[in-house]
Amino acid sequence: MLVFLGFATFPVLIALALVLRSFNESSVVPAIIFGVTFFLGVALIVLVFYAARIMPNSINALIKGTQILGAGHLDEKINIKSGDEFEDLATAFNEMAEKLKNSVYKLTAERNKMQVVLSGIRDGVIAVDLEHKVILFNKAAEDLTGYKQEEVLGKNITHILRVFDKNSEITVSEYCPIRYDEFEGILFQKNALRILVKEKLLFANFSSGKISEGANVNLGCLLTLHDVSVEQQLEAMKLDFVSMAAHELRTPLTSVRGYADILKSQIWDRLNQEEKEYFYRLQTSADNLGNLIDNLLSAAKIERGAFKVERKPLDLVGHIRSIVDNFQEHARTKQQTLKFIEPQDLIPLVQADGFRIGQVVSNLLSNAINYTYPAGSIEVSVHIIKSEIARSMVSVSVKDTGQGIPKSALPHLFTKFFRVSGSLEAGSKGTGLGLFICKSIVNLHEGEIWVESIEGKGSTFTFTVPVATQADIEGYHNKKMLNGFVRPDSHAIIRRA
């Protein structure tokens, strides 16, 4: 603009020089005054002329440019080459637009990335707002439910799916509680839930989470569903197979046991000692096979959650004493001493399933006999653990002077299919189900089972069962009046009471 002014001043200076020469002869001062006034006047005219012609062009260009940028066309440039402040302003606008364009690009890329990630996730991801309305529904959620994102957006999640655990429905306020606080993390998490969608039942591991800014961006919670329907089916098939196989195995076993028994009663008196020993082995092997099958069935039931105990008031001392008696013969064959230590204290009735607790004690005893060297000793004792705050418990310990258990094996001892490897291998047998079943039985009694062991010195297995309360005892007597019956696999025979 100053350059323009400079050019505009040039003719004015010539005019001023002419005027000054004409005024030289008369008076100099009025001539100067006149000259300056004339100059300023001309300058003003030029300036107004310039402002009226040039400035509106720049302003218009700026207004138009900002409107284009405002409409989102960030690639457009404001083109002002006025060489003045308008051009500077335009340049600043253009730089700002460029930065804005980069930010928008980054955000879009981020959003696209998020969408690729969400659609790539094989778990269903559903986001709901603070009113439980769906605001995001990824591809896996579509595949899982059969709904399309556009069908469900804006709809309440409860109209799309319902969530059930084994026993009852889980409400939306349970699995997706709306929280306005700063909490961030997992709100709800449960495996193998039943999800009812469009009258179809799915099994899914279900979890929901919240981010702390959730309330600011209207995000109630984010649900993820991991489809485990196939796994559930496989698991059910496996359990069915185990049950079926066990049943099929029991059929020939019935014949083996039955005919061995018939044959024995017919020819026993005519057998010599060696032949009698063969018979004994035949029957022991059939018994072992029977126990294996029963253990497999029990383990399958435990996994299915169908394994039950029928607890009633029980004289534990008498029960255990008789089980120990049954094992005397077995211990004698290994030249071991097996002793039941009579308790010093009075042991009250416990609330327990006699058959199942018998299984636990038998299992511990047969382990003790198997893992103890000849001439070793095994002691079974019963103690009362009195408690003022909680329910009193009775503990049963089976202590042996056997080979003990390596420290590294102790934490895994009660897990399914675990067997101590290494030095014990030679003398060990079984499927690794025994202690797993023991633990399950004890846990169903709300008791605990544990082991203390020193390698080379021996092991002590202890479990606890709760004392029967007065209510338990009265409840049992009342129940006995209503004809009940005992479960099938707890005893070989179940009679109608």
Partner 1 sequence: MKKILIVEDEIFISEMYAKVFADNGWGVDTALDGETAITKATTTHFDMILLDIMLPKVTGIDVLKKLREILSASKESPVYMITNLGQEDIMNEAFKLGAVGYIVKSQLTPKDIVQEINSFFEKQARKDAVS
* Site residues, partner 1 (CB under 8 A): 243, 247, 250-251, 253-255, 257-259, 261-262, 265, 290, 293-294, 297, 306, 308, 485, 487-489, 492-496
In the complex, least distance from residue 306 CB atom to partner 1, rounded to whole angstroms: 7
In the complex, least distance from residue 271 CB atom to partner 1, rounded to whole angstroms: 18
**Which residue's CB is nearer to partner 1, number 45 or number 262?**
262
**Which residue's CB is nearer to partner 1, number 417 or number 485?**
485
DSSP states along 158-194: GGT-EEE-SSSEEPHHHHS----SS--EEEEEEEEEE
Partner residues linked to 459 by β-bridges:
453
In the complex, least distance from residue 194 CB atom to partner 1, rounded to whole angstroms: 20
Neighbours of 202 (CB within 10 A): 18
In the complex, least distance from residue 491 CB atom to partner 1, rounded to whole angstroms: 8
Closest CA to 153 of 171, 141, 169: 141
Helix axes 55-70, 85-120, angle to 10 degrees: 10
In the complex, least distance from residue 455 CB atom to partner 1, rounded to whole angstroms: 37
Cβ-contact 311, 351 below 8 angstroms: yes
Strands 377-385 and 393-400: antiparallel
**Which residue's CB is nearer to partner 1, number 52 or number 493?**
493
Partner residues linked to 350 by β-bridges:
314, 467
Query: Running DSSP on this structure, what letter comes out for residue 226?
Result: E
In the complex, least distance from residue 309 CB atom to partner 1, rounded to whole angstroms: 13
Neighbours of 393 (CB within 10 A): 20
**Which residue's CB is nearer to partner 1, number 32 or number 239?**
239
> Three-state DSSP class for 127?
strand
Q: Phi then psi for 365, rounded to 5 degrees?
A: -65, -45
CA dihedral 484, 488, 491, 494 (to 10 degrees): 50
Show the tokens assigned to 219.
């995000």
Neighbours of 63 (CB within 10 A): 11
In the complex, least distance from residue 303 CB atom to partner 1, rounded to whole angstroms: 15
**Which residue's CB is nearer to partner 1, number 22 or number 167?**
167
**Which residue's CB is nearer to partner 1, number 339 or number 487?**
487
Q: Which amino acid is at 418?
A: F
Helix axes 28-53, 2-23, angle to 10 degrees: 150
Show the tokens assigned to 194.
């039943």
CA 409/CA 223 separation, integer angstroms: 39
**Which residue's CB is nearer to partner 1, number 305 or number 374?**
305
Could you tell me the end-to-end alpha-carbon distance of the chain, in angstroms, rounded to an integer? 115
Neighbours of 161 (CB within 10 A): 23
In the complex, least distance from residue 238 CB atom to partner 1, rounded to whole angstroms: 17
Distance of CA 17 to the CA centre of its chain: 97
In the complex, least distance from residue 119 CB atom to partner 1, rounded to whole angstroms: 44
**Which residue's CB is nearer to partner 1, number 3 or number 493?**
493
In the complex, least distance from residue 265 CB atom to partner 1, rounded to whole angstroms: 8
**Which residue's CB is nearer to partner 1, number 49 or number 259?**
259
**Which residue's CB is nearer to partner 1, number 106 or number 281?**
281
In the complex, least distance from residue 243 CB atom to partner 1, rounded to whole angstroms: 8
Q: Show the CA angle centred on residue 188, arms to residues 182 and 192, nearest 5°.
A: 165
Closest CA to 453 of 429, 481, 424, 431: 424
Show the tokens assigned to 334.
């290994």
**Which residue's CB is nearer to partner 1, number 162 or number 304?**
304
**Which residue's CB is nearer to partner 1, number 168 or number 483?**
483
In the complex, least distance from residue 409 CB atom to partner 1, rounded to whole angstroms: 31
> Three-state DSSP class for 443?
helix
The residue with tokens 């004792």 is 381
